[in-house]
Structure formats: C-alpha cells, structure tokens
Amino acid sequence: MRATCLARPLALVTVVFLGVAPSACVTVSPHERGVLAQPEMDPAGDGLEETFHSHIESAREAGFGGHGASGGGCGCG
Amino acid sequence: MRRALNILLAALIVALVAFAPGQLTGQVGHAEDRVTVRGNYYRETSTRVLQPMVTFRKELPDERLTLEAEYLLDVISSASIGAGALALGGDRVFTEMRHETSLRASTKIEDWSATAFYRYSTETDYTGNNFGFGVSREFLQKTANVSLSYSTSFDRAFRITNNIGANSPWLSSGDTNLLRIHYLSAGYSHVLTKHLVAGVNLEGIHAEGPQDNPYRRARNGDAEIHPWQRTRGAASVWARYAIPKAKMALEPRYRFYADNWSVEAHAIDLRAHFRPIKHLQMRLRYRYYTQSEAYFWRNDGVWDIDYPWRSDDPKMTHFWSHTVGGRLIWELDGVSKFQGLGWLDGAWIEATYNHAFVRCKELSSVCIDQDFGYGTVRSTRFGDHRIGNLAFSLAF
C-alpha cells in the first residue's frame, strides 16, 4: 500500500484543523443562530439527493462517494 | 371507590406515557413524521437508470427514537456497451432491476446522537448486505459536533452465464465471490460565526474480494481482473456561509481521495443557495472532479503475459469532469394555509438537474472521440451524463 493513501488525507485534515482550532472555542450564542437554522445551512439537508449522487459517483468514478460501503452493484460498473 | 382508583390509575399511566417523554429531556421538539417519494434519473451514452424510491420516517414519539424504512428500485437499461457485456450476446439493449430496502433507527438524547442501519440489495447477479452504526456528540453549547461511524458490507457477485439467467459465482482471482467492505468515517463540524459553519471529514475503506466486472474483457480479450484488495482514504473540508442581505448561502467543498491502486482524485464542489421568495429555495452547483489512473491501467491495452491484472474499466483511467446543476425546492407551507390544504403543512417538492461533461486526454479503448450533440469531444466510454431528481415529501 502506498504511504500516500492515508497520509495525505490525514495531513490535509491536520492542516485544516490547525487552521480552524484557534477559533474553535468561540461560541455563538443560541439567539445568534437564526440564520444557521435555515434549511440551506443544514449540512444534513441534502441527504437523500446525496445518496443517489454518491451511488452514481461510485459507479463512474474511482473516488468513492462517501456515504458508507456500497449497498450492491448496479450492474453497470 | 375501587373502580374510581382504577380509573385514576389508568389516567395517570396514560398521562405519563403521553407527557413524560417531553418532561424527561425538557428540550424535545415536536415530532415530525414524514414520507418522501423520489424519482431519480440517470442517463449516459449506454446506460439509463430510473430509480423510484420511497422513504418513511416515524418518530416514536419524538427524536429520542426515530425509525426509518426505505425501498428503492433501480431499473437499469441499455447497460451492455458500458459494461462490456459481450459475453451476454454483445451490444444489445437489456434491462435489469435492483431492489434495495433499508431500515434505520436513530436516537437523540441531550447532546448525544446515535444511529444504526441495515440495508439489503439484490439484483440478478449481485446481492449486498450492509449494516453499520454511528454516534455523534455536540459540544460547546451545540456549536461543535464530533461524529464517528462504521459500516460493513458482505456482497456476493455472480456472473450470468446464459440468456435465460443461469449464473455462477464470480471468483475473479480469488476463491470466493464474497466482497467484504469495511468503512470508517470521522467528522468534526463547528459553528465559527453566526453566519459560518464548517467541517472536516475523514474516511477510510478497506475492501477484499472481487472488484471487477465479470462481463468486461480487456482490450486483448482477457477477462478483466482487478487486484483483490483495495484500501482507500479520503479527506474533505466543507463550509456553509450565509449572506442574509443577499438571501443566499455559499457552500464550498473540497475532497481529496487516494487509494493503494495509485488512484488519486480531487473534487471541488461549489454551491450557491438562494431564497428569492419565502417558500422557494434555489441552488446552483458546479463540481470539478479529476483523477489519476490506476497503476495497472494500460492505455494501449498491452500487459506482460505474466502480469496478473487486466482492466477495461473507464474509471481506472485518467479523466476529469465538469458538472453543472440546479435545484428548486418549493416549500408548501404557504399553500397549506388555504382551506382543505392543511395537510400540506411541512410538505415540499424538489426538482434537481445536473449535467456532467466528462473529458479525457489519451486515446484508448475507454477514451474515445464522441459527439454528444455539441460537437466531437474526447470522453470516456461512459461519456457525458445527466442526473435528475423529482421528489415530494409530506409531513404528517
């Protein structure tokens, strides 16, 4: 297995985490979260649509979709 | 007197069952049960997929226990060119179906959430069993979230051997048709300002078993044989930034992927969400994807005679794609105020369309010049494709 397989993703996350960490303790008060409560700000809001896109991407791209292990082949891979 | 006590006791039990759940946590939202029907559509040069699905969600009695059941049907037609199904009689149109059912249970208590699921998928030549669980916890007054999930699959691959559906296990280079997959994901998200939320995700996947197409033949006529094991990793970062004055939100995403087949991929996904009027959401999307080729890929289709692997899989070559798309969601709360339409409260209708332009550089058996209606371009054998969705969701 090539060392880059997991090392690069780990490095990327580390860099991002270090970038975010300084502001990580800043707490936004509940009364300031009105905008964040909008559906378009909810990362989980696109779940069903993403599942289908992920299935397509798994069948058409080597980089897998990111929604868990595949639930079966689609006969077109 | 005794009868009165019994009635009082029964009333007390009913009251406890009805109201105690809300009292225990003190912050339980009202239950939202929901049924969603969705039709997905995918079309490329040689394959068309129609995928109706229905999802049923029930909270018992609130978010502390949510059950979800889903059924979907994949109707896949004209797959013969893309799948290289010469063994089945060559380039002819055929249709196959895949049935998938999923059950999911999730719970949210205070700052903790947990979920578990099982999914079963079956089609003529493939069965899949997939189950997993996940847990997450919110910190810092619910501004930070850490999540961890694991799932595993036990899939069985078969090869149809004649035109009346007889099949045999597909063993590839191994001695079993069992494909075992382990998937692990960790995520962290944080509300950074009152307009900005961002997160990182790390995924790892290990697969062991047949991972090639049993019908596809390499350019030299040998059966396609891919390595038996594959270890994959991906890291992604994302953010959602709201611009209230413009009634919009921006959502950039980036994902890096690498595996031990030497494939590296980058995906940049930019999305802009708009709300031009109160109950209408719009989204525009652009995605750029690029990947390198697998170490066993050969553009000329020539391998040393003792080399163990062969491939004619277009997704093993170097290519890139541009995807543009749009989405509309009409929230029906406004309509529900009309007499007789109260049942539409919380309902929505969604329409999505995406068009992917797939390009490659080096001519090979899978990278060819084609015309998709806008001039000759060099694309993979899968080619440009379109993805559409129509959905209706009803809360009850």
CATH code assigned at B231:
2.40.160.40
Q: Residue A58 falls within a domain, yes or no?
A: yes
Maximum average pLDDT range among A47-61, B150-164, B358-372: B358-372
| pLDDT tens digit sequence for B33-90 | 999 999 999 999 888 999 999 999 999 988 899 999 999 998 988 655 444 445 554 5
- The helix, strand and coil proportions of chain A, stated in percent and rounded to the nearest 5, come to 60, 0, 40
- Tell the residue number behind the tokens 């995924």, with chain if given: B203
Q: If DSSP codes are grouped into helix, strand and coil, which group holds residue B336? A: helix
Residue of chain B minimizing CA distance to A56: B42
Q: How confident is the model at residue A19 (pLDDT cuts 50, 70, 90)?
A: low
pLDDT of residue A16: 61
Q: Residue A26 falls within a domain, yes or no?
A: no
Count of structural domains, chain A: 1
- For residue B240, give the nearest of B283, B272, B203, B274 by alpha carbon: B272
Q: Which residues 76-115 in chain B show a CB within 8 A of chain A?
A: 76, 79, 82-83, 96, 98, 100, 102
The pTM of the full predicted model, rounded to 2 decimals, is 0.85
| pLDDT tens digit sequence for B318-341 | 999 999 999 999 999 999 999 999
Query: Which range (A54-68, B98-112, B265-279, B316-330) has the least confidence?
Result: A54-68
Q: Provide the residue range defining the domain that includes A51.
A: 43-67
| A47 CB-near residues (< 8 Å, 6+ apart) | none
Q: If DSSP codes are grouped into helix, strand and coil, which group holds residue B125? A: coil
Say whether residue A17 is in contact with chain B using an 8 A CB cutoff: yes
Count of structural domains, chain B: 1
Interface contact flag, A36 B195, Cβ < 8 Å: yes
Query: Which range (A35-44, B36-45, B265-274, B305-314) has the least confidence?
Result: A35-44
Query: Which range (A11-20, B100-109, B204-213) has the least confidence?
Result: A11-20
Q: Residue A63 falls within a domain, yes or no?
A: yes
| B17 CB-near residues (< 8 Å, 6+ apart) | none
Would the pLDDT of B19 be above 50?
Answer: no
Would the pLDDT of B93 be above 80?
Answer: no
Say whether residue B69 is in contact with chain A using an 8 A CB cutoff: no
Q: Provide the residue range defining the domain that includes B231.
A: 2-395
Interface contact flag, B273 A32, Cβ < 8 Å: no
ipTM: 0.81
> Closest partner residue to A56 among B42, B140, B235, by Cβ?
B42
Q: How far is A71 from chain B (nearest CA, A)?
A: 5
Percentage of chain B exceeding pLDDT 90: 76
